[in-house]
Amino acid sequence: MSPTSPPAERGDRGDSTRRALIEAAITEFARDGFHAASTREIARSAEANQALIGYHFGGKEGLYLAVFQFISEQIQARVGMAVGPIEAYLAELQDLGALTMPQREQCVALLMRLVEGMTRMFTDPNAKPWAQLILREQQSPTKAFDILFEGFMSRYLGIVTQLILRLRPELSRDEAALSVITILGQILVFRVARSTLLRHMTWPDVGPDQVDLILKQIKANLTAMLHSKD
């Protein structure tokens, strides 16, 4: 079955244990990283036996990878749904030349929706552990990073880049790709530099009202970037 299947048998019991261990592990690994998490604490939090980590995942590292596999699947289910239709739409436009005005507006709308979705995902308090794990993995990538990149990042960045290229055809592929990274930066910063954000803005927290302000700012920047004449 899946590459992380237990060596023997199938059954609800084992599955629910695996699931509980993964969910507990997400919290623990996110808190202070791989090394700071202990398998004892994960097992306690999952109300499972510590030895089962070895049995189901081969060890602490196997559990870590299973966590990323799980997260990647969850995000694909959440974001990937929107990506497919856009890829189809872009393929449709492919052979055509310059965009008509309605097509252009449609592309802008799609771009905004993608950016909004990603921003909401990264600012959602429920996704905090995911975000922390992903960010940590970026700075010293292990095999887990490949799972993430292949799982959803690659596709997401790809369609955003294509949309930018459509909207600013004078850009080279590299210029468009680089501008996508700066857009990503404007989204990530609200998770990455959260402490700086709160202190600089003197916000008590990032709640729904703050997310609205953040989205307004990012969208305004994006609009400005799309109208830029350099």
Partner DNA sequence: GTCTATAGCCCGATAGAC
Partner DNA sequence: GTCTATCGGGCTATAGAC
User: Could you list the residues that contact DNA (CB under 7 A)?
Assistant: 6-11, 13-14, 16-17, 37-41, 48-56, 59-61
Interaction of residue 50 with its own copies, rule CB under 8 A: no
Q: Which of the listed partners (its own copies, DNA, none) does 80 bind, with a CB threshold of 5 to 8 Å by partner kind?
A: none
Q: With respect to its own copies, which residue has the nearer C-beta, 13 or 35? A: 35
Question: At its nearest, how many Å lie between DNA and the CB of residue 13?
Answer: 4
Q: How far is CA 31 from the centre of its chain?
A: 18
Question: At its nearest, how many Å lie between its own copies and the CB of residue 214?
Answer: 7
CA distance linking residue 95 with residue 46, whole number of Å:
53
Taking residues 178 to 217 in sequence order and writing x for each that binds its own copies by CB under 8 A, - otherwise, the string is: xxxxx-xxxxxxx-xxxxxx-xxx-----------xx--x
CA distance linking residue 88 with residue 176, whole number of Å:
20
Q: Which of the listed partners (DNA, its own copies, none) does 60 bind, with a CB threshold of 5 to 8 Å by partner kind?
A: DNA
Question: At its nearest, how many Å lie between its own copies and the CB of residue 178?
Answer: 5
| Contacts to its own copies from residues 93-122, by CB under 8 A | none
Instruction: Yes or no: say if 34 and 141 are a contact pair by the CB < 8 Å rule.
Output: no
Mention every residue, 6+ apart, whose C-beta is less than 8 A from residue 76. Answer: 151, 152
Mention every residue, 6+ apart, whose C-beta is less than 8 A from residue 6. Answer: 14, 18, 55, 56
φ, ψ for residue 32 (rounded to 5)? -140, 20
